[in-house]
Structure 1
Amino acid sequence: MIKLYHASALVLGALAITACSPQAAAPQSESAEATPPPPTMEPAMTQTAYSASEMKMHDAMMAANGADVSEVWARKMIPHHQGALDMSQVVLRDGTDPDIRRMAQKTIEMQTRDIAELQQWLQGRPSGGADASARTAFMPVETRMKDAMMAASAADADHLWARKMIAHHQGAIEMARVVIAGDPDAAVRTMAQKTIDMQSEDIREMESWLSAHSGSPSA
């Protein structure tokens, strides 16, 4: 009986030591330290026939730089106007409304002249130099314009062009106000004011068209 008692005591002692050992607690520790799930990814942006033109424009505008606020504005507005040209070519290809086609053709003609005017002004400028503060001054406007253009939606090419171009033109107006406030070159001030006047008129025309054609559902 004494031997049996001692054997039982030894077995119980061994079980107690095993239960308290780090190896026994390991499964619980691993569970508590499990790797958290990866963060939820943002949904992919909806792609449209205009997406390639938009991204090309935004990337070129963000990369543009210059020696002062006048040059920065001019170098940003060239790809901005080119974006309008490219998007207008898309709606001429895919759209059907005659008024939208007329507005798109007018946009192509006007923005082509504006690009030539900006390039001519830049030819008389000495090359070199980069003003980081002048470049930064335009970034909030560029970001708002990009977000508004990307957020625009519609079920057809005509409505989508109008909604995206309103945001596009509004960005041009705000950028023109930034350069005017920055005491630019006299010729740039004249071009910027012309941009405000012309783009404001175009926005009113597109808003009027959208109001008259509101029956088309958004995408």
Structure 2
Amino acid sequence: MKKSFRTRALAAGALALISMVGLAACSTTTEPPESSGANMADVMFVQMMIPHHEGAIEMSDILLAKSGVDPEVVELAEQIKAAQGPEIEQMKQWLDDWGMPAMSDSMDGMDHGGMGGMDGMAGMTEEDMQALEDASGPEAGDLFLEQMIVHHQGAIEMAEDVLDDGEHPAVRELAENIIASQTAEIELMRSMLDS
């Protein structure tokens, strides 16, 4: 389980690095069909947001397996899972419809060595995940909130980027929903930490 998360995190980080510096040689060279209404910004967003959402669900699962956690934090973790699971399925369907590979497919064969700090693109480093797994009770709840705030901030940045460059109406709608819902959740999580 830890290895699969690290693999997804590294893949997401590698793709983000590629897009930031414009090294298209390592990314997929196939464009989505013109009839799809999607461009490469839409594809990259979806390819990166799937493992990002999977990371949030994995964090939630870790928290939900613990006892002694504040019921409000438990409820939030359940809400995150309930919202992001269907979004993952929708994004996977878009990639299928566009004939575009998922992150794991598009990154096959790339050397992920030396990516070090890029784990954060999927929101969490291996050390962060281990800290959450090791924490218990209220401490686990607080750590989950702190880490999820950072994770949500990453998703909001990705969503803002696709609103700048993406063209697909449904992708843009998802990005707007991510910005609205996760901004509200960040405010809620900050208030939980303050109380």
SS of residue in 2 equivalent to 1:94: coil
> Who is 1:59 aligned against?
10
TM-score between the two structures when normalised by the length of structure 2: 0.66
Q: What SS does the corresponding residue of 1:127 show, helix, strand or coil?
A: coil
- 5+ residue gaps, structure 1, are 1-49, 129-141, 213-219
Q: Distance in 2 between matches of 1:63 and 1:146?
A: 9
Q: Secondary structure at the match of 2:166?
A: coil
Matched, 1:85 2:49: no
Q: Which residue is 2:100 aligned to?
A: 127
| Contact 1:56 1:83 (C-alpha < 8 Å) held by counterparts | no
Q: Deviations over 1:115-163 (max 9, x none)?
A: 11111222210337xxxxxxxxxxxxx9594598559779621111111
Residue 194 of structure 1 corresponds to: 177
Q: Distance in 2 between matches of 1:109 and 1:101?
A: 12
- Report the TM-score when normalising by structure 1: 0.59
Distance 1:162 1:56 in 2: 24
Q: CA RMSD in A?
A: 2.9
The whole-number CA distance in structure 2 between the counterparts of 1:187 and 1:74 is 11
The residue correspondences of 1:45-124 to structure 2 (distance < 5 A) are 55-64=6-15, 65-66=27-28, 67=31, 68-95=40-67, 96-124=69-97
> Does the CA-based 8 Å contact 2:73-2:141 persist in structure 1?
yes
Task: Tell me the distance in 2 between the aligned counterparts of 1:60 and 1:147.
Answer: 9
Distance in 2 (CA, whole Å) between partners of 1:58 and 1:201 is 25
Q: Could you say which structure has the greater relative contact order, defined with CA pairs below 8 angstroms and 6 or more residues apart?
A: 2
**Preserved contact between residue 159 and residue 179 of structure 2 (Cα < 8 Å):** yes
Match for residue 165 of structure 2? 182
Corresponding residue pairs, total: 150
User: Residues 63 and 146 (structure 1 numbering): CA distance in 2 closer, same or farther, change over 3 Å?
Assistant: closer
Unaligned 5+ runs, structure 2: 16-26, 32-39, 102-116
User: Aligned AA for 2:9?
Assistant: H
Q: Which residue of 1 aligns with 2:151?
A: 168
